[in-house]
Amino acid sequence: MNKKWEYYEENKELISKISEKFNISKLLAKTLVNRDVVDDKSIEIFLNPTRNDFYNPFLMPDMEKAVKRIIKAIQTNEKVIIYGDYDVDGITSITVLKKFLAERGLETGYYIPNRLEEGYGLNKEAIKEITNKNYTLMITVDCGISGIEEIDMCNNLGIDTIITDHHEQLEELPKAYAIIDAKRRDNTYPFRGLAGCRSGF
């Protein structure tokens, strides 16, 4: 595959102006200009966001269903495992979600596949191991959107699965309990470019 590098024309005057006005480095100012974040209000929100500046997460399909299922797991102290990929956003996602749930009284297990032996995404041997440890709810982070057969296996083994992912969906969606992915074709969330650690809760 041939790739063509494209470079932004550098607006040095605007970069300097933003850098000085907001007391930020020229590198950060350049990044803002390249992303067309140039008016004062947008820059302020970018640099100092509040909860009120975020989009409503319930614009994502299945979000309400997933949240209710997790609340039920917390209330009944269910055995829950987080299944994440081995890359940066997969591991970050596990850490963020595990900490979040622990702060709400639910200690969870986690599973990270071996990159060399298992490869990317869900795999059937891991699901067997998860089943043998009596987990009843699996939350994927940064993977799962393409795991049709693996999710079918979870369903047959009595494991509810909530998928949180940020990759493009295939023609068919897995038959998971809930699927949170800003790149779902029926998504109404305004921003599709969330990383794995931001695509869920």
Same domain membership, residue 189 and residue 156: yes
Assess if residue 169 is contained within a domain: yes
Same domain membership, residue 48 and residue 62: no
Could you report the per-residue pLDDT of 88-115, keeping only the tens digit for each?
Answer: 888 999 999 999 999 999 999 999 988 7
Model confidence band, residue 198 (pLDDT cutoffs 50, 70, 90): low
Instruction: Report in angstroms the alpha-carbon separations of 175 from 7, 29, 154, 166.
Output: 42, 44, 10, 17
Same domain membership, residue 180 and residue 126: yes
Which helix or strand (DSSP H or E) is residue 37 part of? none
Inform me whether the pLDDT recorded for 117 exceeds 70.
yes
Same domain membership, residue 64 and residue 123: yes
Which helix or strand (DSSP H or E) is residue 15 part of? helix 12-22
How much is the average pLDDT of 27-36? 94
Inform me whether the pLDDT recorded for 116 exceeds 60.
yes
| Separation between Cα atoms, residue 187 and residue 169, nearest integer Å | 11
Give the per-residue pLDDT at 196. Answer: 67
Give the per-residue pLDDT at 89. Answer: 82
Residue-range definition of the domain harbouring residue 34:
12-53
Same domain membership, residue 177 and residue 104: yes
Assess if residue 149 is contained within a domain: yes
- Tell me, rounded to whole angstroms, the distance of Cα 134 from its chain centroid: 25
Assess if residue 189 is contained within a domain: yes
Inform me whether the pLDDT recorded for 195 exceeds 90.
no
Inform me whether the pLDDT recorded for 199 exceeds 70.
no
Could you report the per-residue pLDDT of 139-194, keeping only the tens digit for each?
Answer: 999 899 999 999 999 999 999 999 999 999 989 999 999 999 999 999 999 988 88
Assess if residue 28 is contained within a domain: yes
Residue 116 maps to which CATH number? 3.90.1640.30
Give the per-residue pLDDT at 32. Answer: 95
Same domain membership, residue 69 and residue 47: no
Inform me whether the pLDDT recorded for 37 exceeds 60.
yes
Same domain membership, residue 88 and residue 179: yes
| Separation between Cα atoms, residue 101 and residue 110, nearest integer Å | 12
Token representation of residue 4 = 């063509």
Assess if residue 5 is contained within a domain: no
Same domain membership, residue 84 and residue 45: no
Assess if residue 2 is contained within a domain: no
| Separation between Cα atoms, residue 132 and residue 187, nearest integer Å | 35
Same domain membership, residue 48 and residue 119: no
Same domain membership, residue 132 and residue 84: yes
Give the per-residue pLDDT at 193. Answer: 85
Name, in order, each residue with C-beta under 8 angstroms of 109's C-beta and a sequence gap of 6 or more. 79, 80, 81, 82, 133, 135
Q: What is the mean pLDDT of the chain?
A: 91
| Separation between Cα atoms, residue 147 and residue 113, nearest integer Å | 14
Same domain membership, residue 115 and residue 36: no
Task: State how many domains the chain has.
Answer: 2
Sheet bearing 137-141, strands edge to edge:
109-111, 80-84, 137-141, 160-165, 178-181
Assess if residue 159 is contained within a domain: yes
Assess if residue 6 is contained within a domain: no
Could you report the per-residue pLDDT of 50-87, keeping only the tens digit for each?
Answer: 988 889 999 999 999 999 999 999 999 999 999 998 88
Query: 131-156: b or e for each residue (b if 16 or more CB lie within 10 Å)?
Result: beeebbbbbbbbbbbbbbebbebbee
